[in-house]
Structure 1
Amino acid sequence: MGKAAGDETYFQRGSLFWRTVITLSLGYYTWAVFWPESIPYQSLGPLGPFTQYLVDHHHSLLRNGYWLAWLIHLGESLYAMVLCKSKGITDGWAQLLWFLHTFLFGIASLSILIAYRPKRRKQT
């Protein structure tokens, strides 16, 4: 059996919902780690006091967790490259898109690649 046309260039973005949630969450996390003094804690409802508590009492844990999250995303991106090869996605541009998308959005992107089943066609 051979590969169906298009397998080598397959790429699919994650849903807008998850891309938005992850972007806002990591953006807020970045803000809390690097510029906590500029956060308007009183204007954020229950999230404000919780964030202020973490910043005031566990800032080193927040900072270490931040870098750990990016390290995990890097690992997921490298695993995405392994999956690309095993699923016949050989186009360099498609592989780069999977790497970057998985680095930025983590498991929301990687789960799409994991679920992808390349189409097969019979060789003649």
Structure 2
Amino acid sequence: MAKSDVSSEYFRRSSLFWIVIVTVSLSFYTWTVFWPQDVPYDSLGPLGALAKHLVDHHYPIMYYGWFLTWVVHTFEALYALKVCSDKGIDSTSTRLLWFVQTFFFGLASLGILLKYKAGGRSKRH
């Protein structure tokens, strides 16, 4: 495979750590916003107390914040498509992978793409 072919198909999955953190966090947030009566606040220690306080005293902010979260993730995913174009990633399937991953995991995905140096190796930590 030529170097340009590799660069046009560059994709790296977000780390499992961030996938789990973002999935659990957004799932819990969704649960507290749409089914707050079903959350076992007392069983969750300090997190439960905080969630209960936010639901009881700041529910409108949580509700609109939930939608804002997905609007931000949508814009991050669209920006990922632009970054793919800028970096020469022109494979449709690869661009779709970046879009979907960035939509669901946000900066945990976009950060990897932004660090990628087209035509070279990306930085690893």
- Class of the TM-score when normalised by the shorter of the 2 chains: over 0.9
Q: Identify unmatched segments of 5+ residues in structure 1.
A: none
Rounded to whole Å, the distance in 1 between the matches of 2:49 and 2:119 is: 51
Q: How much has 1:108 moved relative to structure 2?
A: 0.5
Aligned residue for 2:118, secondary structure, equals coil
Determine which structure has greater relative contact order: mean sequence separation of CA pairs < 8 Å that are 6+ residues apart, divided by chain length: 1
1:20 equivalent in alignment to 2:20: yes
Rounded to whole Å, the distance in 2 between the matches of 1:100 and 1:20 is: 16
Partner of 1:10: 10
Q: Give deviations 1:66-112, integer Å, cap 9, x for gaps.
A: 11111110010010000000101000000000000000000000000
Which structure has the bigger radius of gyration? 1
Partner of 2:59: 59
Rounded to whole Å, the distance in 1 between the matches of 2:88 and 2:98 is: 13
Letter of the 1:104 counterpart = F
Aligned residue for 2:45, secondary structure, equals coil
**TM (normalized to structure 1)?**
0.92
Q: Identify unmatched segments of 5+ residues in structure 2.
A: 121-125
Contact residue 32 and residue 55 of structure 1 kept, 8 A: yes
Aligned residue for 2:11, secondary structure, equals coil
Q: CA RMSD in A?
A: 1.3
Letter of the 2:101 counterpart = H
